Chain A
Amino acid sequence: MNESYRTYHPRWYRRRVPIFWWLRQLTYIKFISRELTSLGVGYGAVLLLAQIWAASAGETTYERFLGVLMSPPVVIVNLIVLTALLFHSFTWLHLAPKALVLYLGDRRLPESMVLFGHYLAWIVTSGLVVWFVVGGWA
């Protein structure tokens, strides 16, 4: 008999979680990818702050900043980040109806309607930003 075993205090077996548990199935890989794309969101925010700072520091600084943005390595990085941001946005929007349950009277609105509302809000907000950036307000 195994010495550490006691009749009234059984020795349970606890399985360790492997460090690469997230490679076990596709949904876990998708989840980790979604989490990692948050780094892209952070990068995008820092880039925007840097652009605002460059714009406020004068024309020469801003021209130099735009030059850096247009260099091939930065363009490649930004394209990768854009892909990550789109993945993040789409997956986030598709998760939203799970959290937001809306009722019209006693009837629950279908998830597709909540999703549509989110897409609509996204498109309208993006349109406003584009309108502002191209100077439509001036």
Chain B
Amino acid sequence: MSDTVELEVFRYRPEEQLEPSWDTFEVPLRKEWMILDALNHVKDQIDGSLSYRWACRMGVCGSCGMTVNGKPVLTCATYLSSQAKNGRVRVEPLRGFPVIRDLISDIQDFIAKLKKVKAWIVRDEEKPLSEGAYLQTPQQLAKYKQYSMCINCLLCYAACPIYPLEPEFIGPAAIALAQRYNMDSRDQGAEKRMGVLSQDEGIWSCTFVGECSVVCPKNVDPAGAIQRYKLEATSSWFKSLLMPWRGR
């Protein structure tokens, strides 16, 4: 095995170029290095102008998601040696999002969608502080815990072939997070979310490719969340059709 690897990096500097280009950097192939370590090496030792996002370096903050050899991954959790099979590793920004600069994508669209689905606990009425906290049993927690593990890394959006084709699609993470709150025993906002989620650009844009769940580094299973909601929305619609006096 060679002791160096060629890191092929997507470059886009909007003040200089109209179209993106590729730069190749030779970096040491150290067995303990992650892709992010190789990028940091480039930034520190070779080209300080290389731009990318990262923070925690331990798979928690979700900011270092990139496309490596065609697959969306967290670069802090992907070994360089595992990707350097032919002595080359190709690093691109996450697919499906506009590129601001080099490896940095614009994720405002996702943030707007999170707001749209009200990804927070919605209460009709808050109980007074004197009554104490909203208690929850371990069983109630278990119902939504899987979805609460989402770190907003957006690998699921990058893996979804529908999102770039239909940018209005609310998308996997936002729907999984909406489900996270729908299933929370303290939440009362399920009906408010249904208006957004059960639209065409909500769950029905999903054709269940399933790749979002495959790439999710936290096993959130957003594809499962969307399919479950499809079933819930359909049964809710049937109930409202058969028993209109009951409402949804």
Contacts and interface: CB of A to CB of B under 8 A. Distances in A.
Contacts of B59: none
B16 A1 contact: yes
Main secondary structure of the interface of A (DSSP, over half): loop
A17 B228 contact: no
A100 B229 CA distance: 10
B226 to A, nearest CB: 9
B185 interface: no
Contacts of B126: none
B243 interface: no
Interface string B63-99: 0000000100000000000000000000000010011
Interface stretch (B25-33, B113-121, B193-201, B209-217): B209-217
Q: How large is the interface on B (under 10, 10 to 19, 20 to 34, 35 or more residues)?
A: 20 to 34
Interface string A13-36: 111010001101101100100010
B100 A27 contact: no
B211 A27 contact: yes
B58 interface: no
Interface in A20-58: 21-22, 24-25, 27-28, 31, 35
Q: How large is the interface on A (under 10, 10 to 19, 20 to 34, 35 or more residues)?
A: 20 to 34
Interface of B: 12, 14-20, 70, 95, 98-101, 106, 139, 142, 161, 164-165, 207-211, 214, 221, 223-224, 227-228, 230-231
Interface of A: 1-2, 4-5, 10-15, 17, 21-22, 24-25, 27-28, 31, 35, 95, 98-101, 106
30 contacts: A1-B15, A1-B16, A2-B14, A2-B15, A2-B18, A4-B18, A10-B100, A10-B101, A12-B14, A12-B98, A12-B99, A13-B19, A13-B98, A13-B99, A17-B164, A17-B165, A22-B161, A24-B70, A25-B70, A27-B209, A27-B214, A28-B211, A31-B207, A31-B208, A95-B208, A98-B210, A98-B221, A99-B224, A99-B227, A101-B224
